[in-house]
Structure 1
Amino acid sequence: MKQQSLGEFEELVLLIVASLHDEAYGVIILEKLEEKLKKKVNISAVHVTLKRIEEKGFVKSRFGGITEERGGRRKKFYIITSIGKKMLDVQYELRTTIYKQIPEISFG
């Protein structure tokens, strides 16, 4: 079986999904990303990434109820899976290990 990978933007989206728990859907994920990154993000990039990380098994989705405010359309909610959480743990450990190898240098 091929080792799953996680790109930088995928990791950010997965982190936001995990932080929102069962309340994560496209627009709120977009808003949180823009807030944290302090720049505009394309909603299509968020949706494509959500589809990709769902195909990898890192998130699961479900549809919410139909609402008038959305013109009868349903929100698609995402929740992190145990595989997704393990992948975030691996990424965190990798990044932390490398970060700790940076020498104590003063940049004044």
Structure 2
Amino acid sequence: MRRSDLGEFEEVVLLSVAVLTPQAYSVGIAEALEEETGKTVTTGAVHAALQRLEKKGFVNSQMGEATPERGGRRKRLFTVTVAGSRMLHDVRGVRNRLWDRIAPQALPKISFT
């Protein structure tokens, strides 16, 4: 895995696509990321990340059905490709191996209250 293959924001967007499939679309992804992180996430940033991910072959998209709640407009729905799944597993493996190598005294204690 080359680090340039997947940025941090792209990683969480790709993870969100996996979580939200089969209804993964930009607004839903932005809302899910805001809920998870507590930070503002614009749909424009999500759109840009999804376009990069699609160009890299990590997601596919297709137009969903028109819905009355969207005024008859269709959503572009995203799914993770085999290459995207492989990338997520590779990134997870690297992170897990690094976490496993951290000595207990290496990180200051923190409280989650």
TM-score, normalisation: structure 1: 0.90
* 1-structure distance, mates of 2:74, 2:25: 11
SS in 1 for 2:64: strand
Q: Does 1:11 align with 2:40?
A: no
Offset at 1:66? 1.9
Output the CA distance in 2 between the equivalents of 1:107 and 1:47.
37
Say whether residues 1:107 and 2:108 are aligned partners. Answer: yes
Measured on the aligned residues, the alpha-carbon RMSD in Å equals 1.5
Q: Superposed, which structure 2 residues align to 1:1-108 within 5 Å? A: 5-105=5-105, 107=108
Q: Which runs of 5+ in 1 are unaligned?
A: none
What is the letter of the counterpart of residue 87 of structure 2?
M
- Local SS of the residue matching 1:103: coil
